[in-house]
Amino acid sequence: MAELFYDKQADLERLKGKPIAIIGFGSQGHAHARNLADSGMDVRVGLYAGSKSWAKVEAAGLKAMTVADAAKEAQIVMILVPDTMQAEVYREHIAPYMTPGKTLMFAHGFNIRFGQIIPPEGIDVSMVAPKSPGHRVREVYEQGGGVPALVAVQQDASGGALADALAYAKGIGSTRAGVLTTTFAEETETDLFGEQVVLCGGVSALVKAGFETLVDAGYQPEVAYFECMHELKLIVDLFYQGGLNYMRYSVSDTAEWGDYTAGPKIVTDETRAAMKQILTDIQTGAFAEDWIEENHTGRQRFNAFRKNDVDHPIEQIGLELRRMMPFVGPREVRPGEGGA
């Protein structure tokens, strides 16, 4: 069984007098930096010269500086730029300053697990990975709570890497909810698998296929949208609150019967075999190699996938319907044109 840590088992005093550099001020970066600062830590934010986030950092009352200056000055360096940027940022701006006794931290293990970043000996390497988008990390902290997180140690040169990581987790509020021990490999592999098979890839494909099946059979696309996408949140909220049992308790007996009888027809032995192959590709590094190569060669397939899906009929219908439902808090974005 994994070990769980809470507030009483984490000591913020371990971080006092240790300058912390948060590299990046995006979804996770802004939350970590602001929460740590509010917890009394000495925080600075590392950005590339000319970053649009520079003014946002200063408006939040934080110190902004270049990545290199932040890494040079800090005792603890947390890298929170996108996975695809981390290796280059580390090599060019951080590695020269990772001297013995410092700590290098991550919120996702991808670049360590797949060897894109190889830290030197003599430093601690650890991870604190909140299980929530950054805006929730910040919101829940401000409300007096915290979101759960995973913690892992890859390299413990000081003998205190876990204790320091737990202190960091406390600084962002996560020990209020509970911090679960893991490894860089387990976090990375399960995170990628969950994204691909269920949370993003699986759900997106299922929603589109259900919508297309109804529309192709002659049903109104607006009705198909409500049944296959809009109501998904209602079910996911039930999962979130009480698992599969609470969902089945909350829906009608007819819906529960359909759950039992139709589910296995959708997730078949062939589907499970595909899941196992996806997991194998993650474990062996085949997925990572393909994704890294895709980024090195201009993202042609990635951009084609994005272009093909951005104007899918379910997106067009959904856009119109959400504009009629201000109570859902509609958001209108096109992937690749920026965002949170």
Question: Are residues 150 and 71 in contact, defined by beta-carbon separation less than 8 angstroms?
Answer: no
Question: Are residues 184 and 171 in contact, defined by beta-carbon separation less than 8 angstroms?
Answer: no
Neighbours of 333 (CB within 10 A): 10
Cα distance between residue 107 and residue 36, in whole Å: 15
H or E stretch including 155?
strand 149-155
Cα distance between residue 90 and residue 94, in whole Å: 5
Cα distance between residue 46 and residue 77, in whole Å: 9
CA distances from 313 to 193, 220, 228 (A): 27, 12, 13
**Contacts (Cβ under 8 Å, ≥6 apart) of 266:** 206
Catalytic residue among 32, 108, 230, 312: 108
Q: Is 108 a catalytic residue?
A: yes
Question: What burial class does residue 134 get, using C-beta atoms within 10 Å of its C-beta: 0-12 exposed, 13-18 middle, 19+ buried?
Answer: buried
Cα distance between residue 212 and residue 226, in whole Å: 13
Cα distance between residue 65 and residue 22, in whole Å: 10
CA-nearest of 113, 49, 56 to 86 is 113
Q: Which residues are catalytic?
A: 108
